[in-house]
Amino acid sequence: MGIFRRSKRPTPVLPSTGHPGDDQLIALIARDVGLDAVRDWVHYVYFAREETARAAALDIQGSGWEIRGVEPSPDRRWVVVAGRQVAALDPETVRDARSYFETLAGTRPRGEYDGWEVSVEAGP
């Protein structure tokens, strides 16, 4: 038993986002680094055709997200990478973003929302 063992914060009890994977990820982030820092938050949406991806990217950008890329993926689909800086990550914000991206993907042929990732270090 080491005397310099780093203790982790207890996992906080947070409201549900409505998505078990999102709930688990937010709880881990809250426990390990906290949710209150400015973070880079990135989402991935896939489409079968480049034209569909580029049209979706315009809609995403119009909703206040920065388009980080529209590019082919290894599985011959096109991925739209959208991101923004968030001041705090909370269940409601995550729930709203998932709903937005899933709805957007669902309104286009073979669209698929593939989830999100967030930096765990404070942003600039």
Query: Structural domain boundaries of the chain?
Result: 36-118
Band of the pLDDT at 124, cuts 50, 70, 90? Answer: very low
Angle at 76 between CA 46 and CA 71, to 5 degrees: 60
Average the pLDDT over 29-53 and give the result: 93
7-16, 50-59, 105-114: which range is least confident on average?
Answer: 7-16
Q: Residue 108 contacts by C-beta under 8 Å, 6 or more apart in sequence? A: 47, 52, 55, 56
Closest by alpha carbon to 101, among 62, 51, 44?
44
Convert the pLDDT of each residue in 20-31 to its tens digit: 999 999 998 888
* Better-predicted residue by pLDDT, 123 or 35: 35
Q: Which CATH superfamily, name and number, covers 36-118?
A: RraB-like (3.30.70.970)
Mean pLDDT of 96-109: 97
Smallest CA-to-CA distance from 110 within 62, 24, 55, 45 is with 45
Q: Which of these, 18, 8, 44, 26, lies nearest to 116 by C-alpha position?
A: 44
Give the pLDDT band (50/70/90) at residue 88. confident
In Å, what is the CA distance from 50 to each residue of 28, 64, 113?
35, 21, 16
Is residue 3 predicted with pLDDT exceeding 70?
Answer: no
Examine the pLDDT at 41 and tell me if it is beyond 60.
Answer: yes
* Distance, CA of 28 to CA of 95 (rounded, Å): 16
